[in-house]
Structure 1
Amino acid sequence: MFTFLSGRPCLDLTTTLQVRHREPVETLRTPHDARDWIEQAGLAERVAVDDAGLVRLRELREVIHRLARAALTAAPSDPADVRRLNEVAAHPPTVPCLADGTVRHRGDLDQALSTLARDAIDLLAGPQACRVRECAHPDCSRLFLDVSHAGRRRWCGMAACGNKSKSAAYRRRVRGGTDR
């Protein structure tokens, strides 16, 4: 099972390589993992993914990560990354279908990748680009979209990283530290 806390599918994709700033943990290790992530993300069902498809998904993940980090730090985007994102987005996206009162998406790997690239373009070229954040917990490198009213969210989620950070700060205060 994958975790989807980032607020956008394109940012959730970037978190499939975890703890980037220390010892990275790859969660998309096999084509089966890639297919499962695409399905769990709600992008498409039963997508065929081979070794080359796994590489393409990982490459798109890294392009989106670099572009999102550039937005986060207000740095210029690498033109090669922008070009690659646009190339992937040029394919048709997945197709929504109504099934039993719910929406399901159908398509192949190219369509799923296009849908992710289009989501990244929409985010990074839109008004929410300045709301991309990186989790403040030292063991987390998740990028997320801060949709809080004040725009000061620090953690990817309170249930995990926020709670760990607040608990650690409390323990330091109780031991006599000065974390206020």
Structure 2
Amino acid sequence: MNAEASDTGEDVPAGELRFNFRSGRLCLAFVATVGERWRGRYERLREPSDLARWYCEAGLLREPPDVTGSGLEAARVLREAVHRLARAVIAGQAPSPADEAAVNAAAAAPPLVPVLSGGTGRLTLPAARGQQAALSTVARDAVDLFSGPAAARVRECASPECALLFVDTSRPGRRRWCSSAACGGKDRAAAYRRRRAAAPEG
């Protein structure tokens, strides 16, 4: 069990167990498999089947791979390393060598295999070590993110009820929310209500 998040599922709102894909990068969406890190720390990868389902919902695979208990634990280790690396980038701090080593170890396995199917490309499992291949694909996205120019665009959602990590793809690079429609809309609505409450009665 991941010591940093509860995976019992007890007293966790059903909505908090749904996967979130607003981060704009595969590895940051993987980090979001822990909900409310600042408060409830809801573990969304409670069982190996949850991780297999995440790979499908993330669009990596059409069919869920076989995931073992040790594979789930390896995925959680990678996830937390990616989270700490992202936080270091945001804070302008040097990355932890241990966290980089964890990402590199996962990325060392052969990744998912690209194939043509009906004129379109998709990823599929290799003949062996399927769960390692899926995790390697996530780790390689982390290597690409943190070693490239997009690292300077890693942000944390400004909403106190979200704090999702995301990549700011806006041209000016001043995006505050993971989603203007979701958290941005909530923030604007809350600000409007505050203005209404503070306005003198006419």
Q: TM bucket by the smaller chain?
A: over 0.9
What residue is the counterpart of 2:82 in the other structure? 64
> 1:8 corresponds to which letter in structure 2?
R
Q: Moved runs in structure 1, 4+ residues, more than 4 A?
A: none
What residue is the counterpart of 1:75 in the other structure? 93
Q: Could you report, residue by residue, the CA deviation over 1:101-144 in whole angstroms, capped at 9, with x for unpaired residues?
A: 43321121111111111100100010110100001111112100
> 1:82 corresponds to which letter in structure 2?
E
State the identity as a percent.
50
Aligned pairs for 1:1-180 within 5 A: 2-44=19-61, 45-107=63-125, 108-176=130-198
Structure ranking higher on relative contact order (CA contacts 8 Å, 6+ apart): 1
Distance 2:24 2:54 in 1: 15
The answer to whether the 8 Å contact 1:42/1:104 transfers is no
Q: How many correspondences in the alignment?
A: 177
Deviates more, 1:112-121 or 1:101-110: 101-110
Structure with greater Cα Rg: 2
The answer to whether the 8 Å contact 2:19/2:32 transfers is no
The answer to whether the 8 Å contact 1:35/1:46 transfers is yes
Distance 1:155 1:53 in 2: 32
Q: Could you report, residue by residue, the CA deviation over 1:21-73 in whole angstroms, capped at 9, with x for unpaired residues?
A: 11111111111110000111122332111211111111111010001111111
TM-score by length of 1: 0.93
The answer to whether the 8 Å contact 1:63/1:84 transfers is yes
TM-score by length of 2: 0.84
Report the CA distance between 1:100 and its aligned residue.
Answer: 3.0
The answer to whether the 8 Å contact 1:133/1:143 transfers is yes
